[in-house]
C-alpha cells in the first residue's frame, strides 16, 4: 500500500509504503492544491463506551463492540483503551472478562479508572460512592486474570494509605499508574510519583468545585515534571483559560488528549448507561447523570478534540496531533507508535483534511488494513 500527504508533525509532503508496518517514508514534492494530511492514527487512553455501546457492561456483545470500533475508526482513532470505571467487584471483573474476548488490534489494553479513588463528592465525580474502596493488590491480580493480563493503565488516588505499595506493585508489572479523582495532599502526590506514578488522568476534572489558593492537588500535579497529564478538550469539561495555563505548565510533550467518551458519543440525545449509572446526553452535547447537572464522561470524539484544541489553546495542527498520537503512545508504552511516521513503526494511519478549523477524516488504517474510508 502507498499513501501520500502532508505530515502535520513536520510540514513535509511524504509518501508512505506499508504493510502491517511502515516500510518506507520518502519526502516528495508537494502537490499544488493538495491539502490532504497523513498522520499516525489517533490513540485514546480513556474510552468508556462509544456509538451506543457501554464497555462497562459484561453483556456487551462482540457485534456491539465491532460496531463501536467502526465508529471510532471513522474519527481517526486506531488504538484505544476501553475503560472500566468504579463498580461492584464482580461487575468490574465481568466487564474486563467480556472485553478480553474481543480480539482486535485497535485495542491496546484496558484502563481501569477506580475504584481506588477519593470517596468525597467532587473528586469522586460520577463514580458510584458505594463501590469506592482502598487499593488492593489482590483485587488488581483478579482484574489481570480476568483480562488475560491486558490491564495497561490504572487510575487511583494517592490519598489512601495503601496507595504507595499498590503503585509500586502494579508498576513493577509494567502497568501505568495514573493519579486521578483525588484529594491527595502534596506529600501523597510526591510519594505516588516516587513509587512510580507517571500520569495524571483528565487533570482539572474529578475535583472539588472550590480549592484552596495553595496548596492544592491540581497545582501540585501541574508542577510535577515527572507526571504527564491528559485533558478532555470538549469546551465543557475545562475553562479555556485553565487549559491554556495547564498546557504551558506541562508543555506539549507531556500533554495528552483523551475523550473520556461514554456510550452516547456519536448518538442522539437520550438516556444511556455507564455501568450501574444512568446517564443522559443533552442536546448541547453534555453528558450528565440522569436528572442532574454533574458531568458523567463526554460525547467527545478525537477528531473534534484536535480541532477544539487548536481553537481554544492556539496550538498548531502538528502539536495537537502529537498530543493525540506520540504522546499517548509514550505514556502508555504502546509499542511501535512512539516515534510517529517512521520506517518500522506500525502502520496505524489517518488521512484527513482541515476545513474551517475542523478535521474531516478521509481514511483510517490499522496495522496496514483500511478500516474506514469516506466514499
Q: Catalogue the active-site residues.
A: 260
CA 192 centroid distance within chain: 21
**Rounded to 5 degrees, what are φ and ψ at 304?**
-70, -35
Write down how long the chain is. Answer: 375
| Alpha carbon distances (Å) from 297 to 182, 211, 228, 239 | 17, 22, 20, 16
Q: Which three cell numbers stand for residue 363?
A: 481514511
Q: Which residues touch 216 (CB under 8 Å, ≥6 apart)?
A: none
CA atoms of 36 and 350, how far apart (whole Å): 10
Q: Which residue has the cell 478532555?
A: 232
| Alpha carbon distances (Å) from 361 to 139, 150, 182, 366 | 40, 29, 36, 14
Q: Which three cell numbers stand for residue 159?
A: 490519598
- DSSP per position, 120-177: STTTTTTS-GGG-----HHHHHHHHHHTTT-EEEEEE-TTSTTHHHHHHHHHHTTPEE
Degrees to nearest 5, angle at CA 352 with 263 and 336 = 75
CA atoms of 198 and 353, how far apart (whole Å): 33
Amino acid at each position: 500500500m502507498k499513501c501520500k500527504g502532508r505530515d502535520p508533525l513536520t510540514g513535509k509532503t511524504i509518501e508512505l509504503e506499508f504493510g502491517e508496518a511502515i516500510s518506507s517514508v520518502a519526502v516528495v514534492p508537494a502537490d499544488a492544491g493538495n491539502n490532504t494530511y497523513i498522520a499516525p492514527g489517533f490513540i485514546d487512553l480513556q474510552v468508556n463506551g462509544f456509538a451506543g455501546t457501554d464497555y462497562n457492561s459484561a453483556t456487551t456483545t462482540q457485534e456491539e463492540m465491532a460496531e463501536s470500533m467502526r465508529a471510532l475508526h471513522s474519527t481517526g482513532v486506531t488504538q484505544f483503551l476501553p475503560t472500566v470505571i468504579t463498580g461492584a467487584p464482580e461487575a468490574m471483573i465481568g466487564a474486563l472478562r467480556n472485553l478480553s474476548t474481543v480480539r482486535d488490534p485497535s485495542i491496546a489494553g484496558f484502563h481501569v479508572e477506580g475504584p481506588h479513588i477519593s470517596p468525597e463528592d467532587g473528586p469522586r465525580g460520577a463514580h458510584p460512592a458505594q463501590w469506592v474502596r482502598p487499593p488492593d493488590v489482590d483485587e488488581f491480580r483478579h482484574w489481570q486474570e480476568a483480562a488475560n493480563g491486558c490491564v495497561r493503565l490504572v487510575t487511583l488516588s494517592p490519598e489512601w494509605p495503601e496507595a504507595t505499595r499498590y503503585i509500586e506493585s502494579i508498576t513493577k508489572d509494567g502497568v501505568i499508574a495514573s493519579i486521578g479523582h483525588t484529594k491527595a495532599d502534596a506529600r501523597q502526590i510526591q510519594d505516588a510519583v516516587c513509587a512510580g506514578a507517571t500520569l495524571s488522568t483528565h487533570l482539572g476534572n474529578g475535583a472539588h468545585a472550590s480549592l484552596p489558593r495553595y496548596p492544592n492537588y491540581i497545582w501540585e500535579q501541574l508542577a510535577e515534571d515527572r507526571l504527564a497529564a491528559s485533558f478532555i478538550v470538549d469546551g465543557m469539561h475545562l475553562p479555556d483559560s485553565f487549559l491554556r495555563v495547564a498546557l504551558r505548565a506541562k508543555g506539549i510533550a507531556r500533554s495528552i488528549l483523551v475523550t473520556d467518551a461514554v456510550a452516547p458519543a456519536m448518538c442522539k440525545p437520550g438516556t444511556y448507561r455507564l455501568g450501574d449509572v444512568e446517564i443522559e446526553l443533552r442536546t448541547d452535547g453534555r453528558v450528565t447523570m440522569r436528572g442532574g447537572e454533574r458531568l458523567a464522561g463526554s460525547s467527545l470524539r478525537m477528531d473534534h478534540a484536535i480541532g477544539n484544541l487548536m481553537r481554544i489553546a492556539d496550538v498548531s495542527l502538528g502539536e495537537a496531533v502529537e498530543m493525540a498520537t506520540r504522546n499517548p503512545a509514550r505514556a502508555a508504552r504502546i509499542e511501535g507508535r512512539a516515534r510517529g511516521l517512521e520506517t518500522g513503526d506500525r502502520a496505524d494511519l489517518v488521512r484527513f483534511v482541515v476545513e474551517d478549523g475542523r478535521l474531516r477524516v478521509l481514511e483510517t488504517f490499522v496495522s496496514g488494513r483500511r478500516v474506514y474510508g469516506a466514499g
